[in-house]
Amino acid sequence: MMCYTIEEIKDKTIPIAKKHGISRMCLFGSYAREEANDDSDVDLYVDKGKMTSLIKYMAFVYDLEDELQCHVDVVTTGIKDKIFLDNIQNEGVVLYEE
């Protein structure tokens, strides 16, 4: 797998977010810190918007992984871990917002 720039990730993921009714999507982790390597996955934090079922969630993740050709971790706004949320807040890069 190749490393992407933040702009490349944005270009590849925004159409998918729109297709699946996502209202907000942020990049975090190694790509947001610009420390990614060939083995890095893409970490996204999303406001689910209209994505209301597990099947829709899985279809969203599948479309992302198909487009990016790598593993994608998607965390939704339902997470309660304050340390994790603080980390996303501090390093997150907004890719898309309705």
pLDDT digits (tens, 9 = 90+) for 6-58: 999 999 999 999 999 999 999 999 999 999 998 999 999 999 888 889 999 99
Instruction: Give the pLDDT of residue 85.
Output: 87
Taking CA 91 as the corner, what is the angle to CA 19 and CA 44, rounded to the nearest 5 degrees?
Answer: 25
Of the pLDDT bands very low, low, confident and very high (cuts 50, 70, 90), residue 1 is: low
Q: Where are the domains of the chain?
A: 6-97
Question: Rounded to 5, what percent of the chain is helix, strand, coil?
Answer: 40, 20, 40
Averaged pLDDT for residues 65-79: 92
- Mean pLDDT, rounded, for 56-67: 97
Q: 6-97 in CATH: which number?
A: 3.30.460.10
